Structure 1
Amino acid sequence: MQIVVGLGPVESDVVQPVLGDAMKFVEHPTDADIAEASGAIVRAAFVFDEAQFAKMPNLRVLARTGVGTDLVDLNVAEERGIDVVITPGSNTNAVAEGALAHALHLTKRLGPLTKLVANGNWDQRTKYPVGDFESKTFGIVGFGRIGRRVAELAKAFGMKVLAYDPFALIPEDQRASSIEELVAASDVISLHVPLTEATNQLVNADLLAQFKPGAVLINCGRGALIDLDAAHDALRSGKLGGLGLDVFDPEPPAHHQIFEHENVVLTPHVMGLSVQSTKQTFIDAAQGVRDSLEGRKPQALAKK
């Protein structure tokens, strides 16, 4: 019987039925289990470096819960012929809902209004004008699976959708010719692009200067997409009306002064970890492991 280990919290009762009777899943592996394992289901925060590979001489496949592989040494995996499975799509809806939740929280001023009621300052309720989604423009940077789902949800609120992605097909009536055009026209901007050399600090002081005054910015992509110092200046000046962050650089983040601003909402990289999406991620990861160990090509493999 082949051993598959969980590295990071992985629910045995979810993955074992997918792996089948010929594989044994070990939720809390010992060093001996790790050394024997043919497969591993690995949580996104787990570092799978050269030293970890060295502990697993029998490893043939590892499956990440998510799509990020920056914590995996893909060079070692390639040298040893080890499949690195990823699980795109399992959390698409969860992340999209999370982006909308951040945007609604900020547009409807839920944070400061909660404090106002809790502190007995009812007479100050007009100090925080409540915004609207209907007839406003939702700008989406990155039009992959998550970006497209965000567009569907935004349109359900009666919003106009504008999207920018030089590598994706976008309906003509939703396509922005540049990111500058998008931010100048959008009331809410949501980031859904990978972190690359080109997108590192994509939202900087120069781009923020072109934002529509009072726009809300949401980042459920990668933390380094935004220059937080520049974003803080934009919040203080009123150029930026609100900022929602589910991702940080690094994670967990050092404290930043922007965290104290009343028009900021923060979540610890959990918008993609809803109950439903987490279960589906485990199922997809287990299926990828089983496919690989049984000689089939997994549905999604990481690329260097």
Structure 2
Amino acid sequence: MKVIVFDTKPYDRKYLDKENERYGFEIKYIEGKLTPDTAKLAAGYDVVCAFVNDDIGAATIDVLVDVGVRAIAMRCAGYNNVDIRHAFGKIHVVRVPKYSPFAVAEHAIALLMTLNRRIHRAYLRTRDGNFNLNGLLGFDMHGKIVGVVGTGQIGRCFIDICRGFGMQVLAYDPYPNPNAGIEYVSIDELLSRSDVVSLHCPLTAETHHLIDAKRLSLMKPNAVIVNTSRGALIDSAALIEALKDGAIGGAALDVYEEEAQYFFEDHSNDVIKDDQLTRLLSFNNVLVTSHQAFFTHEALEKIAEVTFENIANLSAFRGNRETYLANEVCYQCEKFGGDCPKKNHKNCF
């Protein structure tokens, strides 16, 4: 199998190369993102491997199909940047449904604790010889109410950690887990009761701007919101207004809805032209990291492992339409709420 991998950094190549020792695929790495313009570079390759901020819309898919690419292998769990409806019947899309829920959950906790106790500000102060505590006051996490939106593996890991701090847990999920021992409430009740809100859900048409101006207005004035999922779950303009008005206590963000232009790259010598991003960075009660929640040794190992398993499965899948393709994203299945009418989606394509 010939594989072309877009949007790669040295750390990606390190883990992918190590895993490829088991398979011997012919691999070409591209530093740039996958777009309609760069998709033509995939000519002659069987599989395109892409990441969270690649543009895999209809135009890109058409180019990939035209140059003979059989599949898109996402090396991430989310696929909101893939037009799966347009891909349906033309090209396979596979993903890494889980890698390390601990990595993301632990980063969410790290963001929360750093923002709450102002550790990022204290670090800079002490390096300058300033040992003043003014402006660094936080709150006890013990006894506080944490509202968790999304109780998949990452959400449940986050809940376990919060319970270790002695926090009371509320949760919202359109598909509640009756065996999880979690108190489920409506999202509006969760927002109004919680001292901390943490988002752990996918970005879909239904969850786009799930946290908008109306829902931000429901939150307690001192409440903190944490987002390690997808940026567009929060309406950034509405969040800025809420922060300006003092309507919420702060925000800890590992993702941003227009992050593709900046995240994963060094822009320290550039002018940041995204006014919303620069405004968010200007608040002393906002903490932003650059989509690094996944970034642990264990997670990168697992991403490489499952990505190449998916590619190997694609190789074995050639010409055998009666075999179920693991980790495939299927528009037909999505359309029917995950209950594919053709059973196991083996005949959907």
**2:321 is equivalent to residue 301 of structure 1:** no
**Greater RCO (Cα-Cα under 8 Å, separation 6 or more):** 1
Other-structure match for 1:255: 275
Matched residue type, 2:87 = A
Q: Distance in 1 between matches of 2:3 and 2:102?
A: 28
Q: Distance in 2 between matches of 1:62 and 1:31?
A: 11
Other-structure match for 1:270: 292
**2:71 is equivalent to residue 61 of structure 1:** yes
Other-structure match for 1:104: 113
Other-structure match for 2:6: 7
Question: Which of 146, 166, 174 pairs up with 2:182?
Answer: 174
Other-structure match for 2:173: 165
Q: Tell me, what secondary structure is at the counterpart of 1:195?
A: coil
Aligned 8 A contact 1:64 1:86 in 2: yes
Other-structure match for 2:266: none
Aligned 8 A contact 1:141 1:189 in 2: yes
Deviations 1:218-257 (A, max 9, x none): 1112212222233233333433112011111222362322
The unaligned stretches of length 5 or more in structure 2 are 32-37, 263-273, 318-322, 332-349
Task: Summarize the Cα distance change of 1:205–1:24 in structure 2 as closer, same or farther, 3 Å threshold.
Answer: closer
How big is the shift at 1:84?
Answer: 1.0
Other-structure match for 2:246: 238
Q: Distance in 2 between matches of 1:74 and 1:172?
A: 31
Task: Summarize the Cα distance change of 1:182–1:72 in structure 2 as closer, same or farther, 3 Å threshold.
Answer: closer
Q: Distance in 2 between matches of 1:13 and 1:115?
A: 37
How big is the shift at 1:120?
Answer: 4.2
Normalising by structure 2, we get a TM-score of 0.76
Other-structure match for 2:84: 74
Q: Distance in 1 between matches of 2:146 and 2:114?
A: 15
The percentage of aligned residue pairs carrying the same residue is 28
Q: Tell me, what secondary structure is at the counterpart of 2:21?
A: helix
Q: Distance in 1 between matches of 2:149 and 2:2?
A: 42
The answer to which of 130-139 and 46-55 deviates more is 46-55
Q: Distance in 2 between matches of 1:259 and 1:53?
A: 37
**2:94 is equivalent to residue 85 of structure 1:** yes
Q: Distance in 2 between matches of 1:71 and 1:233?
A: 27
The answer to which of 135-144 and 191-200 deviates more is 191-200
Aligned 8 A contact 1:91 1:273 in 2: no
Task: Summarize the Cα distance change of 1:200–1:120 in structure 2 as closer, same or farther, 3 Å threshold.
Answer: same
The answer to which of 142-151 and 245-254 deviates more is 245-254
Aligned 8 A contact 2:80 2:203 in 1: no
Aligned 8 A contact 1:144 1:168 in 2: no
How big is the shift at 1:158?
Answer: 2.2
How big is the shift at 1:119?
Answer: 4.5
How big is the shift at 1:198?
Answer: 3.0
Normalising by structure 1, we get a TM-score of 0.86
Q: Distance in 2 between matches of 1:303 and 1:74?
A: 7
Q: Distance in 1 between matches of 2:76 and 2:240?
A: 30
Q: Tell me, what secondary structure is at the counterpart of 2:197?
A: strand
Aligned 8 A contact 1:195 1:225 in 2: yes
1:140-219 residue pairs with structure 2 within 5 A? 140-170=148-178, 174-219=182-227
Other-structure match for 1:222: 230
The answer to which of 230-239 and 275-284 deviates more is 230-239
The unaligned stretches of length 5 or more in structure 1 are none
Q: Distance in 2 between matches of 1:164 and 1:17?
A: 43
Other-structure match for 1:122: 131
Matched residue type, 1:297 = Y
**2:139 is equivalent to residue 135 of structure 1:** no
Matched residue type, 1:72 = V
Q: Tell me, what secondary structure is at the counterpart of 1:79?
A: coil
Aligned 8 A contact 2:46 2:71 in 1: yes
Aligned 8 A contact 1:219 1:246 in 2: yes
Aligned 8 A contact 1:164 1:179 in 2: yes
Task: Summarize the Cα distance change of 1:42–1:208 in structure 2 as closer, same or farther, 3 Å threshold.
Answer: closer
Question: Which of 281, 305, 314 pairs up with 1:292?
Answer: 314
Q: Distance in 1 between matches of 2:178 and 2:129?
A: 48
Aligned 8 A contact 1:15 1:25 in 2: no
